[in-house]
Chain A
Amino acid sequence: MKLLLEAAGVRVRYGHAEVLRGVSLEAGAGEVVGLVGPNGAGKSTLLRVVAGLQEATEGRVLLEGQELAGLARRERARVVGFVPQDTRIDFPLSVEQVVLLGRHAHGRRLSVDSARDFAAAESAMARVGILPYRDRRYSTLSGGERQLVMLARALAGEPRLLLLDEPVSALDLRHQLLALEVVREFVSSGGGCVVILHDLNLAARYCDRVLLLERGQVQASGRPPEVLRPAPLREAYRVAVAVRPDELLECPSVVAVAPREGGPAAISGSGPDLIAALAALFRRGCTHARVVVPARSPEAAAAEALGFETVDPGALVDRAGTAWAFGPPPPGLSRAFDVEQVELEAIDALFERLHGGCHEDGGSAANGRAGEASPALTSSISRHFGG
């Protein structure tokens, strides 16, 4: 695979704020690389750096093996097609005129668009499906239509590397798929693409590799199933995340719920009841739970898909099928699910174990709180479970 883009150790500093802290990114011919991560993680900045719009404070960027900084502007523009988030134009330009502007780097200063330019523009508009409104005014288009025009504009320049910043954020279901199919087509004919996506399910379906960025650093990278896992996603986005394999599409499917703060709670059960109880915990916004279930049991698989940690019962207590959830109080859970018994001693023992462990793995705020909250546990549990 030919490497089109190699960025290594990219740092960007604005004054005191460091937006990118040593990020490396590669994109080869024939692959779509997805950039995902929460708002303000530095995704757009990284894209601007590799597009040559933003100078990196440190690090180097190679485009087809050549230093980006050493390339002439127009040379760079012939290699890279860039699509920023939303582009508004307050002047009466037709769709075709906008797409033709993608040919800028191919023309000379005083030249008028050639037949070659028109042919490239028409082919790009046809691929994206906007040929029917080539003569409409750009300013009268909807946000989604504008995104398609901008994608066509980038394609019209016949670049080898596409850099797309949320290209489908305003598109409807059909056009999201259509636009990403166009991108796949582009890479299958030898191009490369780096695309920022907020929809993790689209990233799972259309990207060959995914980089998860958080606070200017790469938290995880690799094939979608390697990156799109509950733990790193929960860390990055601070939400409760469930990831299940989607059999229809044969790729991971991500569901998130808003996290809720709350004291620890405990539930117990086994089999489908426990799985349903865990799902109920997740739906209520529980981000952290330790589930005591035998390894490789269906309950353990369900708990892991929800991003909950599993603990083998042999290590702790001899009762299988007991769940402790540290996070929000699950209101009404005791009524919804039959909670038989809560073993306070076992919970305390578990807390101690986890409290020690959470310093080792860097410990999230919720873990720390759960540990500190242990003296209050009894009352909390008795409130929720009437125990």
Chain B
Amino acid sequence: MSASTSSTAAASRAEARAGALRLRFAVTLFVLAFLLGGAVIIATSLGPVQVAPLRVWGVVARELGLPVQLAVSERDEAVVMQLRLPRVLLAAVCGAGLGVAGAALQAVFRNPLAEPGVTGVSSGASLGAVAVLYWNLDAWHPLVLPLGAFAAAAVTVAAVYGIAAGTGRTSLATIVLVGLAVNAFLGGVVSAFVANARNESEIRSIIFWLQGGLEARTWEHVRLALGPVAVGVLGLAVLGRDLNLLLLGDDLAGAAGVAVRPVRWVVLGLAALATGAAVAVTGVISFVGLVIPHALRLVIGSDHRLLLPASALAGGAFLVVCDTVARMLFQPVTLQVGVVTSLVGGPLFLFLVLRSRKEFAL
């Protein structure tokens, strides 16, 4: 009698805990999605020509074919659709890609300090972009720049993974060390290009690209980045359960039924894809992939079923906000978004680290 009462009590407790978990997932994702949506609308409304957020919503709703009746002028539509929205959406897409890639790589390397650049993808993209700028190939067509950067990133990542796999040692440390060596080498090549640039404007455009920026980006860029980033985000989000187990080590994950090596290579590939697509269209934007997952972990924990989609949403929102700050805060001086992510991300990261030390005595 008492046994059955206690077992029904245990069952209802389990039911409550399972329900609370679902609620926490749903609320977290809803709040972050809402923040991202809000950031996109507000960022689009801000600029030298102000467009009220409600009108931005009206334009977006009409474009999407939603049955929303809001008075929208032609000028609003032109500003939103031609000038602002591509740039803001590109920030959201790239931030999402960097955020989710960072979260996944930190899990797969079992190191909270891993960032998307460890695979050589950023330095590869840099070299491709700098080569395009140095030889003025982008005069031919503006999309040569992101495509060249993406191609170089893909080759670099393939080389890093290929060398690491070719050593026969499948340890993660090998990948990190090979990535380190390749990054250093490519950094040297990029510096050589910069030092030998033929004129000031060329140096300027190279430096601008290396700092990462979203100026003058168009729907073409959004279309270019959206596909690979979406594949990366969705593919990685599906692997949340496996990444949770990989945190416990290869043996435990393997014994628990995870296909350790295939999952690892898929994660490395998808993370490189998302990062490569983002870096190719924006230039090197540091810190998003490191700070966003780290900050989220301190707030929502390390369950990757939640952390991966949350990192995508928060990374997108963060980059949208940073880009808006870059555009607006020091007008007429505009800052590169990559500069702002470092300026905002650095102190934010420091704050979180100090706070977490106090709370958890890590």
| Cross-chain contact A87 with B245 (CB below 8 angstroms) | no
State whether the Cβ of B249 lies closer than 8 Å to any Cβ in chain A. Answer: yes
- Chain B nearest CB from A319 CB (Å) reads 60
- Interchain nearest-CB distance for B75 vs A (Å): 45
Q: Is the CB of B15 within 8 A of A91?
A: no
**Is residue A281 contacting chain B, with contact meaning CB distance below 8 A?**
no
Kindly state the separation between the CA atoms of A116 and B22 in the bound complex, as whole angstroms: 14
| C-alpha spacing A109/B245, complex, angstroms | 13
Q: What residue in chain B is nearest A165 (Cβ atoms)?
A: B251
CB neighbours (8 Å) of B298 from chain A are 92
Cβ-defined contact, A87 with B301, below 8 A: no
Picked from B13, B258, B362, the residue with its CB within 8 Å of the CB of A122 is B13
Given contacts A92-B298, A109-B241, A112-B25, contact A82 B255 (CB under 8 A): yes
Residue count of chain A within 8 Å CB distance of chain B: 43
Please state if B14 and A122 are interface contacts (CB–CB under 8 Å): yes
Given A109-B238, A112-B22, decide whether A87 and B254 contact each other with a Cβ distance below 8 A: no
- Give the chain B neighbours of A104 by CB distance below 8 A: 241, 244-245, 256-258
B110 at the interface (CB under 8 A from A): yes
- Do most interface residues of chain B lie in helix, strand or loop, or is the interface mixed? helix
A53 to chain B, nearest CB (A): 5
- Given A77-B256, A98-B248, A115-B15, residue A92 in contact with residue B361 (CB < 8 A): no
Q: Once A and B bind, how many residue pairs between them come within 8 Å at the CB atom?
A: 110
Chain A 227-267: CB-based contact to B (< 8 A → 1; otherwise 0): 00000000000000000000000000000000000000000
Q: Tell yes or no: B18 within 8 A of A by CB.
A: yes
| A residues near B238, Cβ cutoff 8 Å | 109-110
Q: How far is the CA of A292 from the CA of B6 in the complex (A)?
A: 66
Q: Is the CB of A76 within 8 A of B251?
A: no
Contacting residues of chain B (339-362) with chain A, CB-CB under 8 angstroms: 360-362
Q: In the complex, are the beta carbons of B255 and A77 less than 8 A apart?
A: yes
State whether B259 touches A115 (Cβ < 8 A).
Answer: no
Give chain A residues whose Cβ lies under 8 Å from the Cβ of B11: 115, 119
Contact with A along B297-309 (1 / 0, CB 8 A): 1100111010000
Residues of B within 8 A of A97 (CB): 301-303
Contact A107 B241 (CB under 8 A): yes
| Inter-subunit contact B248/A89 (CB<8 Å) | yes
Contact of B297 among A73, A92, A102, A140 (CB under 8 A): A92
Q: A101-B245, A112-B22, A137-B360 are in contact. Are A53 and B255 (CB under 8 A)?
A: yes
B14 in contact with A118 (CB, 8 Å): yes
A91 cross-chain contacts in B, Cβ below 8 A: 107, 110, 112, 247, 297, 302
Give A135-171 as 1s and 0s: 1 = Cβ < 8 Å from B's Cβ atoms. Answer: 0010110000000000000000100000100000000
Distance between B28 CB and nearest chain A CB, rounded to angstroms:
12
Contact of A140 among B112, B255, B305, B361 (CB under 8 A): B361
Q: Answer yes or no: B61 CB below 8 A from chain A CBs.
A: no
Once bound together, how far apart are the Cα atoms of A313 and B36, in whole Å? 93
Q: Mark A89-113, 1 if CB is under 8 A from B, else 0.
A: 1111110011001101101011011
B252, A113: Cβ atoms closer than 8 Å: no
| B330–chain A nearest beta-carbon distance, Å | 36
Please, which residues of chain A bring their CB within 8 A of the CB of B244?
101, 104
Within 8 A of A (CB), among B198-255: 238, 241, 244-245, 247-249, 251-252, 254-255
User: A381: shortest Cβ distance to chain B, in Å?
Assistant: 55
8 Å CB contact of A119 from B14, B251, B258? B14
Contact with B along A38-53 (1 / 0, CB 8 A): 0000000000100111
Is B52 in the interface zone, CB < 8 Å from A?
no
Distance, CA A116 to CA B302, complexed state (A): 22
A118/B255 in contact, CB under 8 A: no
- Which residue of chain A lies nearest to B302 when distances are taken between CB atoms in the complex? A91
A residues neighboring B (CB under 8 Å): 48, 51-53, 73-74, 76-78, 80, 82, 84, 87, 89-94, 97-98, 101-102, 104-105, 107, 109-110, 112-119, 122-123, 137, 139-140, 157, 163
Other A-B pairs, 18, CB within 8 Å; known A89-B247, A109-B241:
A51-B254, A73-B258, A74-B257, A77-B255, A82-B252, A82-B255, A84-B252, A91-B112, A97-B302, A97-B303, A102-B256, A104-B258, A112-B21, A112-B305, A115-B18, A115-B19, A137-B360, A163-B255
Closest 10 CB pairs of A and B: A77-B257, A82-B255, A119-B14, A118-B14, A91-B302, A74-B257, A115-B18, A115-B15, A105-B257, A73-B257
- List residues of B whose CB falls within 8 A of some A CB: 10-11, 13-15, 17-19, 21-22, 25, 107, 110-112, 238, 241, 244-245, 247-249, 251-252, 254-259, 297-298, 301-303, 305, 360-362
Give 18 A-B contacts (CB < 8 Å), ordered by A residue. Answer: A82-B251, A84-B252, A87-B248, A90-B112, A91-B107, A91-B247, A91-B297, A91-B302, A92-B360, A93-B247, A105-B257, A109-B238, A109-B241, A112-B18, A112-B25, A115-B15, A118-B17, A119-B10
